[in-house]
Amino acid sequence: MDIKELTIQSALEGFQKKKFTVVDVVRACLANIQKYNDDYHALLTVVDEKTLLCQAEKIDKTDYSLPLSGIPIVLKDLFTTTGLRTTAGSKVLEHYTPVYDATVVARLKAAGAIIIGKANQDAWGHGSSGENTDYIPAKNPYDPSRVPGGSSSGSAVAVALGMCLASTGTDTGSSVRGPAAFCNLVGLKPTYGRVSRYGIIAMASSFDTIGHITKTVYDNALMCEITAGKDAYDATTGDQQVPTYSQGLDGTLRGKTIGLPKEYFELKGMDPRVRDATQAAIKKMEDLGARVIEVSLPHTTVAMACYYILVPSEVSSNLARFDGVRFGCGRETFGLEAKRRVMIGTYALSSGYYDAYYQTAAKIRTLIKKDFDDVFTKVDAIVAPSSPTLPFTIGERSSDPVAMYLSDIFMCPVNISGVPAVNVPCGFVGDLPVGLQIIGPQFGEQNIYQIASVYEKATEWYKRTTPV
């Protein structure tokens, strides 16, 4: 059993066929945490070995009938966990221990999952690289001189290095898809309201979505069908029935129409090697039967400006509660990026500037959503690169916030419009992964999972594990 190659699907089959036990898998994950975490900084908190093995032994005495029986999972440190430290990647909450579980955590536990630890991240979710953590930044498992993407940085690194079989993340502008792309993994940003946000430390409440990072599309679909659905504690969750996503992955791309947004492919600054890998993936989809047409998302050029008015405005409101009275340290403990976003947001919401900035951005948000709605009357899905560049080196963009923000230019519009998107591996440039983004209409997760699964099975890029 190679834990880095083991998927949720193959682990569940292995348990049933008595090839190995949950104890074996948990021990293998703990061994990789011991081996890699000091160098790659994926996890901020690890549950003690005795507790984990006790849980594993208990599950091994059952019939493995639950959908995630014995599957070790890492949680992004924005997810509240009963009796387990939750820091949001910030020193403000360094010693905070919640008294309740987030809805997603409760649903994973009820499905039989074992929570093995909490993942490193950009503090409060503010970042695209993982470098804005108040602790030590995580490193890319394919090249430790480079970033793993953010803000769910540790969540992706933990899966890639076999510290767990899957992880949770949050995606407010790119934060599941970006790390998945940079670490050769599958990462879903669901429709806004598809998965409950209850118990998640909020970044920007009208943008935040809860996704998962896995090795394969099947694993991701399985986790989403377990965690998605209406939640009485989150009024933004939708009433739509949750499909059995993992059972709808077979089929063909014949009859599917794929849209290529011309604005994305006209972007100056896209790495030509990323462009080539994306075009090769699109050609493969055509070979598999898809019809590919050019489409237009005309407000792409103003999407980042819109995003970085609206999101900091919500950030400034959400961080106001962390005043040192109830949860931890005072505001002087905030890092540079948190302070920057609070200042931008407070300015945009202030008297005399609200109409010029916030209200204008809100109007543009409506236009961006309409762009996507119009395109989805013509196509089944939109395909584009997840990132315009390869994983960049640690420190390369830390002194240039604008360059850092622009790394999300293909992903932020998806959050603005509230539609779902999934990253799937689509190739390598040398040893560095390239990710492909498949975007669908609202509550179209089943469709984009199916397209991603057909492509994944035809290419199997996920089988190229880390060199360490």
pLDDT < 50 regions, the chain: none
Which domains are present in the chain?
8-463 (3.90.1300.10)
- How much is the pLDDT for 456? 98
Q: Taking the chain, what is the end-to-end CA distance rounded to the nearest angstrom?
A: 16
Nearest alpha carbon to residue 117 among 52, 170, 161, 69: 52
Please state, as a whole number, how many other Cβ atoms lie within 10 Å of the Cβ of residue 80. 23
Q: What size, in residues, is the chain?
A: 468
Instruction: Give the model confidence (pLDDT) of 86-126 as tens digits.
Output: 999 999 999 999 999 999 999 999 999 999 999 999 999 99
Cα 418 off chain centre by: 15
- How much is the pLDDT for 453? 98
- How much is the pLDDT for 106? 98
pTM for the whole structure: 0.98
Nearest alpha carbon to residue 415 among 218, 214, 151: 151
Separation between Cα atoms, residue 458 and residue 285, nearest integer Å: 9
Separation between Cα atoms, residue 447 and residue 442, nearest integer Å: 11
Instruction: Give the model confidence (pLDDT) of 38-82 as tens digits.
Output: 999 999 999 999 999 999 999 999 999 999 999 999 999 999 999
CB-CB contact of 148 with 157 (8 Å): yes
Tokens 């030509």 appear where? 272
Separation between Cα atoms, residue 112 and residue 315, nearest integer Å: 34
- How much is the pLDDT for 403? 86
Give burial (CB, 10 Å; 0-12/13-18/19+) of 94.
middle
- How much is the pLDDT for 398? 86
| Residues annotated catalytic, as ranges | 76, 151, 175
Q: In this structure, what are the phi and psi dihedrals at residue 292, rounded to the nearest 5 degrees? A: -115, 130
Structure tokens of 232?
């009485």
Separation between Cα atoms, residue 211 and residue 188, nearest integer Å: 5
- How much is the pLDDT for 402? 83
